[in-house]
Structure 1
């Protein structure tokens, strides 16, 4: 399902920028739930609070700072390397190869890049499991962003400058609508990837908002199908 909007097209796009988690694989795989659980465990152990209290702190920091890690760094002096190593030590086996999506990404004209709040190590494992690692020129992760997560404007600026990307000739695919505000303001065509209808997903209500926002140009619950239609229309 794709909801058409009166919005920017893709005819001018020469750089395709993709978020990673819950964007390049379906929400209902709930791979991120493993990371989420480990974040809670990290917060609980580090702050010496019960898991229920740690969960509240985790979600509060996530919403206020963009990532729980940024909140833990700012509020408690946590070292990013320790945090990232712990929370990304997960089982990636629930991810299945997606050669169809890989083929459609390959057909997109121009450059393809990853922009994620995760780590390069985690992103590499996800892309390898999906069988699409060879489709992307580079991964811009939280370390490259100097630990400033999306939706911080400076993170997008760093990404664009580092990789020489013209936002007026680019498209951004994301699962969180708030992470599309700055890209849209910069002139990028924006695509919100939402959960497939009827599938159970583990997300906060605010994470699923924004389908009708003015800064969201297109909405899809089937990224492969969306890319297929884009390629067919060319």
Structure 2
């Protein structure tokens, strides 16, 4: 078995962001859009969601159509004085990652400061050798967050590994589909959401595992048991 590089998403993969954090982020994003664009909260929420669905990230739409400062936007929507009280996670998460053979990385569309604080709270900062946040996802001066295939190729090139030795662990099916198209192995983490329920992207979870997902797990703690199914030839 070749050693894998495990690329972990953050929100709703390593912790359950949908319980308390996502509602707070959505509220702060909407307030920011309303203030910057002089909109009421209902109109701001509608525009924010439209940009999210069109571009994969609200920030990209705001940059393209309104020339907002991305650093200001990320700070305004991801600063939590009480972050530790909002995080919901499984016990034994650190041991679960330790049991996996190979190298671990974080690959998230969240901003670096927020991601670092969450990882430190979860006690995973020693397990994850490198952190890729949205600030690191720029190609030729433009942000290219997941599910950008060009960005995924660039990260694989930086790590100097072929796609077949990399595994992406995610809750987002769109991101997993992009990774699988490049030849990466894929793990779909369903977490608190079961088939037929509505995910963070507003779409209904499929009742069957899509063909571009090699493995489906409900919990990160199941990864060690299924890792052999992700083995690639030497």
Question: Shorter chain as normaliser: what TM range?
Answer: 0.7 to 0.9
How do 1:106-121 and structure 2 match up within 5 A? 106-121=98-113
Distance 1:28 1:145, change over 3 A: closer
How do 1:137-156 and structure 2 match up within 5 A? 137-146=129-138, 147-156=143-152
The partner residue of 1:216 within 210, 213, 220 is 213
Offset at 1:29? 2.9
Moved more, 96-105 or 70-79: 96-105
Within 1, Cα distance between the matches of 2:97 and 2:179? Answer: 20
How do 1:6-21 and structure 2 match up within 5 A? 11-21=1-11
Moved more, 14-23 or 32-41: 32-41
Within 1, Cα distance between the matches of 2:126 and 2:91? Answer: 12
Contact 2:15 2:89 in 1 (8 A): no
Distance 1:179 1:63, change over 3 A: same
Contact 2:16 2:89 in 1 (8 A): no
The partner residue of 2:179 within 169, 180, 183 is 183
1:62 aligns to what?
52
Offset at 1:72? 0.2
Within 2, Cα distance between the matches of 1:189 and 1:123? Answer: 23
1:92 lines up with 2:83 in the alignment: yes
**1:25 is paired with a residue of what secondary structure?**
coil
Offset at 1:171? 0.9
For structure 2, which runs of at least 5 residues remain unmatched after alignment? none
1:45 aligns to what?
35
1:6 aligns to what?
none
How do 1:163-182 and structure 2 match up within 5 A? 163-182=159-178
**1:206 is paired with a residue of what secondary structure?**
coil
Q: How many residues are treated as equivalent by the alignment?
A: 222
Instruction: Name which structure has the greater RCO, CA cutoff 8 Å, separation 6+.
Output: 1
Contact 2:106 2:128 in 1 (8 A): yes
Contact 2:189 2:219 in 1 (8 A): yes
2:118 aligns to what?
126
Moved more, 11-20 or 58-67: 11-20
1:193 lines up with 2:185 in the alignment: no
Offset at 1:141? 1.2
Under a length normalisation based on structure 2, what TM-score does the superposition of the two structures give?
0.85
2:94 aligns to what?
102
Moved more, 14-23 or 157-166: 157-166
Under a length normalisation based on structure 1, what TM-score does the superposition of the two structures give?
0.85
Contact 1:96 1:129 in 2 (8 A): no
Deviation track 1:10-51 (CA, whole Å, cap 9, x = no partner) reads x54511010111110125533222112111111111111011
Root mean square deviation of aligned Cα: 2.4
